[in-house]
Each structure stands twice: as C-alpha cells, then as structure tokens.
Homo-oligomer: A and B are copies of this chain.
Amino acid sequence: MGQFEDETAIRRNGDGRWATSLSARWNIGENANGGYATAGPLRALLDVTEQPDPLSVTTHFLRPVDVAGPAVIAAELVKRGRVASVARASLEIEGRERLTTIGAFGDLDSDVGADGAVELDPPDVAPPEACVPRAELHQGVDLPILDRLDVVLDPACARAGGSDRAVVTGWVRLADGTEPTTPALTLFADVFPPALYPLMGRVGWMPTIELTVHVRRRPAAGWILARFECDDLDGGRMIETGSLWDSTGTLVARSRQLGLVLTG
C-alpha cells in the first residue's frame, strides 16, 4: 500500500460508522487538504455502495479540519441503482462535523449507453521536467502536503500576478510512486494553487464552500495533467472549473467549486 491508501485507511465500527486517523502530512498550513480529508469518507461510500468508482462526489466543507488524529466517519446508502448508487457521508472530529459529502458511485468499466465524438482534448502544457514545483511558488503558507504529492506548474502560470488569465495548468502524482486511482483523482482535483494566483497573486484566504468532482475514466499510470480556470469572481465568491487528463491524454476527471476569496 502507498501513503495515500495507508493514511486514509478506515475501520468499520458497525451502525454506519467508521474510525479513521487523519495525518498532518497532507496539510495546507494548519488544516488538512480538503481532498485528503474527503478521502476517508469516500472509502466508506465505496464500501456502502459496493461500487468500484466514484462517478460524482459533492463535498461541503463546513469547518476546518484543523486537528490530526482520530476521526469518525458516518456513511449511509441513499439509493442502490443499476447504473449508479447514491450515498452520503460525514467526517466528525472532536464532536464537530467538518465536512459532508454525497455522491453517485458506479463502475467506469461498464458501458451503459451511447458513445460519441465528444471529448475534451488536453491543453498544451510544458512537460513535467520543465515545470515549476509548487513549493517554489510564494503562497505564504507551509505546504506539508508537498512531501506526499508532486505538484508542478507550467512556467506560464507559476508567477504571482504574472499572467492576464486566471488559469493554472500543470501535473500531479503521488510522491511515493503509487499509480493514480479513481479515488486519487478526487484528491488531485483539490491540490493545485488557486487559478486566481497567476492573475491576482496572493489574495487572502480562499476556503472552498462546495466542491464537486466528476470522475470520468480510470487513469493510466503516470503523471496526471490538470487545468483549472476561474472565469467568475464577484463579491468574494468565485467559481473554479477544472479538468484532469492521464498520461495518455485521456480525460479522466472534471471539477467545479464554489470558493470564497476573503481579503479582510
């Protein structure tokens, strides 16, 4: 097992509850990364739905995950379906609910209907070896998670305020060499710097209110290419939309979040 699987392990306690232990090694500053914090609940959801893949996962981040160590996951099946089963889960630490997630789960290897000449091609991005490690950006926060993940950015978007577009492109992989899985894609959708960074630089705290990840296909081995764009910011609320492709150029996941850009 790799670090991601080890450090998101869950133990069923019965009555729809699981025990887990959160590691501080996936932190962004003092808080667990949202994608990492969601990974334990996601495993409980795969368990209750008895499906291999997340198809759609929507998480509301209620309170910071600012405490490492023991946590309780509650999960329940909402509806078992032929093509997709729906279930919801929550993560509780020290008696307070930190996040709630609901998703549809299924088997991405099963063909349930039409195919078509409709696909999203990957953008042009510099190869990983020509990209800038995320650790070299000046984001004003410690990033322990970068010991667990390799995240590199295209040079065109690696400088604070150095671009006229709120677009971040780059690559991500697990640092221990573990190959990507569909649950790992939901993590990868939440580990890049804000798409606003190249346009606006450091703009304050940017908590996510809601993040939805659609996993589209099982990824091939190797780096995952990612593109995120913010094309909609108003009154401190922004929408960031992302897409992930595997090393063969196949689209593997989409994401969209509602986030805040708090300057005060």
- Measured CB to CB, the residues of A under 8 A from B are 55-56, 58, 60, 62-63, 78-79, 81, 83-84, 86, 88, 97, 100, 102, 104, 108, 110-116, 118-120, 166, 196, 199-200, 203-204, 209-210, 212, 214, 216-217, 230-239, 241, 251, 254, 256, 258, 260-264
Contact = CB atoms under 8 A, between A and B. Distances in A.
Contact of A113 (B102, B256, B261): B261
Q: How many copies does the complex hold?
A: 2
B78 A112 contact: no
Contact of A260 (B97, B113, B239, B261): B113
A58 B57 CA distance: 10
A51 B241 CA distance: 26
Nearest to A255: B256
B58 A102 contact: yes
Contact of A56 (B81, B83, B209, B262): B209
A210 B215 CA distance: 13
A164 B115 CA distance: 15
Nearest to A256: B256
A219 B111 CA distance: 40
Contacts of A166: 116, 118
Nearest to A112: B236
Contact of A104 (B56, B86, B209): B209
Contacts of A203: 114
A227 B83 CA distance: 28
B235 A108 contact: yes
6 contacts: A58-B210, A58-B212, A60-B86, A114-B204, A214-B256, A232-B251
A102 B251 CA distance: 27
Nearest to A63: B79
Contacts of A216: 232, 234, 237, 239
A58 to B, nearest CB: 5
Contacts of A196: 116, 118
